[in-house]
C-alpha cells in the first residue's frame, strides 16, 4: 500500500471509529455506575480508564504498551465470558 491509501483508510475508517469510541467511553462509565449491581461493570470501567490513560500518556517502553494491551484484552474477555457463561443464569433466572 502506498501512503495515499493508508491516509485514506485512516481518514475514512479509523478517525470515525476513534470518535465513536471517545463518545462511548463516558457513556459506558456512566452506565457502569448506574447499573453497579454486578461488580464487573465498575471493574471494567476502571480497567478501561487505566488502559485509556496508558494509551494517551504513551508511558513506558513498547514492550510494556504491548503487554498492557494483551492483559487488558484478556481480562475484559475473561470477565465478559464469566458473566455470559456463569453469572448470567444466577442473575437472570429463566
pLDDT, position 10:
78
CB atoms within 10 A of CB 44: 19
Mean pLDDT (whole number) for 26-46: 85
Under 8 Å between Cβ of 25 and 52: yes
Is residue 63's pLDDT more than 80? yes
| Residue 93 banded pLDDT, cuts 50, 70, 90 | low
**DSSP summary character for residue 16:** H
pLDDT, position 1:
72
Per residue in 15-34, pLDDT tens? 888 889 889 989 988 988 88
Domain total for the chain? Answer: 1
Spatial distance between the Cα atoms of 71 and 85, rounded to a whole number of angstroms: 21
Range of the domain at 47: 3-91
Amino acid at each position: 500500500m502506498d501512503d495515499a491509501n493508508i491516509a485514506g483508510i485512516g481518514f475514512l475508517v479509523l478517525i470515525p471509529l476513534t470518535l465513536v469510541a471517545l463518545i462511548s467511553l463516558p457513556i459506558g462509565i456512566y452506565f457502569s455506575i448506574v447499573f453497579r449491581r454486578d461488580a464487573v461493570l465498575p471493574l471494567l470501567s476502571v480497567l478501561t480508564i487505566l488502559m485509556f490513560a496508558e494509551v494517551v500518556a504513551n508511558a513506558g517502553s513498547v514492550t510494556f504498551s504491548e503487554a498492557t494491551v494483551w492483559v487488558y484484552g484478556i481480562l475484559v474477555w475473561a470477565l465478559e465470558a464469566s458473566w455470559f457463561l456463569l453469572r448470567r443464569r444466577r442473575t437472570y433466572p429463566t
